[in-house]
């Protein structure tokens, strides 16, 4: 396989030869390993490696983007991207200035997870699977483990030359219980920015999930309707990401007048206790990095302060168009895709309400924990909780079948009437936007309470 470091200089020189408003290129090489189980037996184990790159050109507001994994004939690829941009552009190019940066950023983990012997990873997964299978009434299990190591070289026509490495580890463990044709499943999901050891002490959690999956076979389904709902930190973090985070991605906003009206800075979205931040700059989380895929240094971006909209996430283009500062949120899943505006580590900042106080005055409500998945249309969101319980007279009461919560984003943010003091982060799963998924991110929040949340049910 050709070394991407060897061809980077040649490509950098090529980018300066063309007459475009802006040109950039990314070269990438990656190694991954993965192990999956379906039921008692190992289903798939493998290693893969890959390399590739892309060139992106901007001319008169039009973009050309060409991706490839044959690294020959790079000058032709550059010419092709330029030609495409010329065919697409007919207006003015907008791009916020970012200084040329030459830097090298190591992965920041002691042990590259890909190099850990497969035997060691398999041994750990065998332990977890053994725990699930020793739980009475478990029908089966699905386990998916994967890790990766990636090196990306970013080059642009202003002279930036940034080499960044990162590692990623992801684990999902699904316990499936079945009885009389009914199936219930419960998911444990963990992610880390390359630290395999964070996957190592999950035995108790695996056991608890498996036991609860069985329990769910015999619990009732909630009656659909409006409830006061308390979300645990994991679910509340996903809520912040889905219900508000995507709205603050400026590529949805910058060329849409009516959307710009909705997202006017200073608009009140929630109570004074509501503060939401996105930050790739805090090191060590799955959404952390030093430079985004346009070579822009990252910042802390306050999105909501004391309930008011104060910021949003930008690429160089959206920032220039909206006359704001770039935030370093242009990210691409891999070399096959152009960077688009994405979240990184998004979280609701802690308030001062204890969990006990939060549920104390709820006569009938729902406590929803963890998350199976979530999605948004900007106006509406839905997510499915992993576990759910009734709250009766200020106490957690009987377990319920998992619930799906939905609502209007704007009303629901206003309806958050308590924010807990117990911030917790979650790094499992990934975010999807367009075809680019799963992108490593993290979410975080304390417990939060929402009035009048719509729950689907029988």
CB 125 within 8 A of CB 145: yes
HSE of 449, CA atoms in CB hemisphere, 13 A? 23
Helices (H), 194-348: 203-215, 233-239, 257-262, 316-321
The 8-class DSSP code of residue 241 comes to I
Contact 30, 150 (CB under 8 A): yes
Angle at 31 between CA 29 and CA 32, to 5 degrees: 140
Asked if 331 and 340 touch (Cβ cutoff 8 Å), the reply is yes
Q: How far is the CB of 254 from another protein (least distance, A)?
A: 8
The rounded distance, in Å, linking the Cα atoms of 228 and 226 is 7
Nearer to another protein, 118 or 265 (CB): 118
Cβ atoms of 393 and 365 closer than 8 Å: no
* C-alpha distance from residue 456 to each of 34, 216, 384, 387, 403 (Å): 36, 17, 10, 14, 7
* CA separation, residue 350 to residues 274, 355, 357, 449 (Å): 9, 12, 15, 13
Separation CA 323–CA 95 (nearest Å): 10
Rounded-to-integer distance, Cα 126 and Cα 203, Å: 11
- Of 94 and 282, the one with the shorter C-beta distance to another protein is 94
| Cα–chain center distance at 395 | 33
Smaller CB separation from another protein, 87 or 265:
87
Q: Least CB distance from residue 134 to another protein, whole Å? A: 17
Task: State which residue, 180 or 356, has the beta carbon closest to another protein.
Answer: 180
The least distance separating another protein from the CB of residue 17, rounded to whole angstroms, comes to 20
362 or 404: CB nearest another protein: 404
The smaller minimum CB distance to another protein, of residues 181 and 266, is found at 181
Torsion of CA 350, 354, 355, 356, to 10 degrees: -170
Q: How far is the CB of 336 from another protein (least distance, A)?
A: 6
For residue 88 the two structure tokens come to: 């697409």
Least distance between another protein and beta carbon 245 (Å): 16
Rounded Cα gap, residues 387 and 405, in angstroms: 12
Give the shortest CB-314-to-another protein separation in angstroms: 16
Query: Toward another protein, which CB reaches closer, 80 or 354?
Result: 80
CB of residue 439 vs another protein: minimum separation in angstroms?
16
CA angle 90-91-93, nearest 5°?
120
Nearest approach in angstroms of CB 186 to another protein is 10
User: Judged by CB, which is closer to another protein: 45, or 105?
Assistant: 45
Residue placing its CB nearer to another protein in the complex, 392 or 452: 452
Q: Whole-number minimum distance, CB 77 to another protein, in Å? A: 9
């Amino acid at each position: 396989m050709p070394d991407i470091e060897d061809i980077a200089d040649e490509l950098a020189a090529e980018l300066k030869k063309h007459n475009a408003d802006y040109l950039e290129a990314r070269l990438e090489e990656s190694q991954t390993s993965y192990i999956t189980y379906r039921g008692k037996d190992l289903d798939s184990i493998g290693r893969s490696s890959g390399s590739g790159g892309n060139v992106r050109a901007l001319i008169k507001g039009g973009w050309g983007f060409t991706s490839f994994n044959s690294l020959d004939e790079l000058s032709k690829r550059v010419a092709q991207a330029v030609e495409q941009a010329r065919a697409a552009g007919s207006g003015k190019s907008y791009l916020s200035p970012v200084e040329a940066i030459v830097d090298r950023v190591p992965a920041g983990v002691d042990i590259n997870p890909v190099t850990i012997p497969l035997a060691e990873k398999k041994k750990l997964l065998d332990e977890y699977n053994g725990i699930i299978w020793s739980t009475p009434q478990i029908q089966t299990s699905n386990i998916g483990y994967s890790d990766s190591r990636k090196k990306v070289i970013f080059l642009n026509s202003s002279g930036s030359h940034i080499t960044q490495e990162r590692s990623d580890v992801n684990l999902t463990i699904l316990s499936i219980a079945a009885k009389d044709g009914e199936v219930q499943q419960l998911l444990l999901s963990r992610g880390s920015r390359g630290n395999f050891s964070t996957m190592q002490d999950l035995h108790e959690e695996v056991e608890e999930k498996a036991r609860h999956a069985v329990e769910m076979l015999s619990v009732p389904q909630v009656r659909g309707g409006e409830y006061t709902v308390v979300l645990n930190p994991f679910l509340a973090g996903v809520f912040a990401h889905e219900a508000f985070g995507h709205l603050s991605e400026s590529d949805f906003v910058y060329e849409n007048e009516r959307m710009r009206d909705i997202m006017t800075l200073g608009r009140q979205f929630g109570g004074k206790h509501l503060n939401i931040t996105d930050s790739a700059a805090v090191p060590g989380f799955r959404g952390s990095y030093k430079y985004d895929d346009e070579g822009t240094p990252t910042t802390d971006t306050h999105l909501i302060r004391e309930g008011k909209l104060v910021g949003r996430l930008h690429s160089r283009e959206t920032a220039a168009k909206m006359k704001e500062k770039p935030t370093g949120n242009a990210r691409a899943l891999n070399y096959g895709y152009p960077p688009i505006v994405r979240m990184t580590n998004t979280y609701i900042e802690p308030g001062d309400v204890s969990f006990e106080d939060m549920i104390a005055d709820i006569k009938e409500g729902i406590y929803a924990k963890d998350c199976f998945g979530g999605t948004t249309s900007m106006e509406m969101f839905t997510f499915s909780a992993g576990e759910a319980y009734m709250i009766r007279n200020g106490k957690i009461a009987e377990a319920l079948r998992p619930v799906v919560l939905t609502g209007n984003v704007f009303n629901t943010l206003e309806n958050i009437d308590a924010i807990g003091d117990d911030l917790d982060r979650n790094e499992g799963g990934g975010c999807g936007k367009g075809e680019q998924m799963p992108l490593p991110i993290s979410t975080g929040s304390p417990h939060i309470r929402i009035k009048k949340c719509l729950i689907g049910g029988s």
